[in-house]
Amino acid sequence: MKTAVLIVAAGRGTRAGGGMAKQWRSLSDRRVIDWTLQAFRDAGHDLIAVVRNPNDPDATAALATHADCIIVDGGAERAHSVRNGLAALAAHNPDLVLIHDAARPCVSVDMISNIINALEHSVAAAPGLAVSDALWTGAENQVSGTQDRTGLFAAQTPQGFHFDAILAAHEAHPGLAADDVEVARTFGLPVTIIEGCSENIKITRPEDFARAERILGKNMDIRLGNGYDVHRFGPGDHVILCGVAVPHNRSLQGHSDADVGMHAITDAIYGALAEGDIGRHFPPSDPQWKGAASKIFLRHAADLVRTLGYDLSNIDCTLVCEYPKIGPHAAAMQETIADILGVDPCRVSIKATTSERLGFTGREEGIAALATAALCKG
């Protein structure tokens, strides 16, 4: 079935501080709305409408980077905004719709999937957290009584519905509503409760931003990969290491330019992505790669990182040799690798060590390199 997503983002939401509505404020390295939209894209949904306040310049700026979304002008109240959003989505004939608050950026893919699954058997479904704390009534800063918490739930979003049913419910609704479950129930639609999540918080107060950052940081997809390469010495007057020509009385031999450092870094990135090694993408049996510059391989790995939605956090490469001395050239290598990867040089470490005259590197028969790559998403 075809599922649409409606993000409600027309509120003024200034209790959270910051001088602008909370959905447009920064949260870690992006805006709140960016995190919210990404969660639904990660869940496989791309028919997304966002209801915004047409008079809010912050909304216009924030949504300019989401040209793939349907942008809808909201109304004076939440129910009016949702009705406008549903009307805009109707032209796309969805079977289901998920209605979600923009200020809930920590919603998980599992939560979204659970709502969709519940709609296979229900006309409406929404997440709720059973109230576990004692409840008081109060007046003038004094406890005036207690409230039985049996059967009470804290409502969350996304709230899911069969599209035609909730559209009809909103069109028939006489006035205001706390949420879309209220609209549905007023229309006579039964709503199934699924288990909510304590991390699916709604940003309301200034301190909620710090809590959301902790939650989103915990849910980041972090990948580590290792690379190792060796090349033997042969005749020549220089070696290519991490893209830099270093004078030496011999050269490294290999199918390409034998840049042992860049090969190790490239394989570390492929490894973090579970994409094999250089040989999978550039087979040595293919003559076109004979003598090829290793930056071709590294640039391909960097492009793959971006294509798969990751950011490169850092690279650490160690060159193992007695000679040539790496120290005088390490800064140039760092700059070269960073330029190819499209990252700041502070994210690239190039260093060297010897093997204390042991093994093939100690006998100056060749050079080895080890590299680690860290990638992150989310």
| Domain stops at, among 218, 250, 281 | 218
Q: Is 318 exposed, middle or buried (0-12, 13-18, 19+ CB in 10 A)?
A: middle
**247/369 same-domain check:** yes
Considering only the C-alpha atoms of the chain, give the largest distance between any 2 of them, rounded to a whole number of Å: 91
Give residue 47's domain range: 3-218
Cα 312 to the chain's mean position, in Å?
12
**283/271 same-domain check:** yes
**181/291 same-domain check:** no
**93/241 same-domain check:** no
Paired residues of 246 in beta bridges = 239
**24/146 same-domain check:** yes
**273/343 same-domain check:** yes
**235/187 same-domain check:** no
What angle is formed at CA 310 by the lines to CA 307 and CA 316, rounded to 5 degrees? 115
Plot region of 39 (φ>0 → left; ψ -120 to 50 → alpha; else → beta): alpha
CB 189 within 8 A of CB 101: no
**294/263 same-domain check:** yes
Task: Name the residue with tokens 């690279």.
Answer: 315
**141/244 same-domain check:** no
**141/162 same-domain check:** yes
**341/310 same-domain check:** yes
CA dihedral 290, 296, 300, 303 (to 10 degrees): -170
- Number of structural domains (the chain) is 2
Q: What share of residues in the chain are helix, strand, coil (percent, to 5)?
A: 35, 30, 40
CATH number at residue 55: 3.90.550.10
Reading the chain (378 residues) residue by residue, the pLDDT tens digits are 999 999 999 987 655 555 789 999 999 888 999 999 999 999 999 999 999 999 999 998 899 989 899 999 999 899 999 999 999 999 999 999 999 999 999 999 999 999 999 999 999 999 999 999 999 999 999 999 999 999 999 999 999 999 999 999 999 998 899 999 999 999 999 999 999 999 999 999 999 999 999 898 877 788 999 999 999 999 999 999 999 999 999 999 988 899 999 999 999 999 999 999 999 999 988 888 888 899 999 999 999 999 998 999 999 999 999 999 999 999 999 999 999 999 999 999 999 999 999 999 999 999 999 999 999 986
**369/336 same-domain check:** yes
| Domain stops at, among 167, 191, 218 | 218
CATH number at residue 255: 3.30.1330.50
Number of neighbours of residue 328 by Cβ within 10 angstroms: 9
| Domain stops at, among 218, 243, 270 | 218
CB 296 within 8 A of CB 349: no
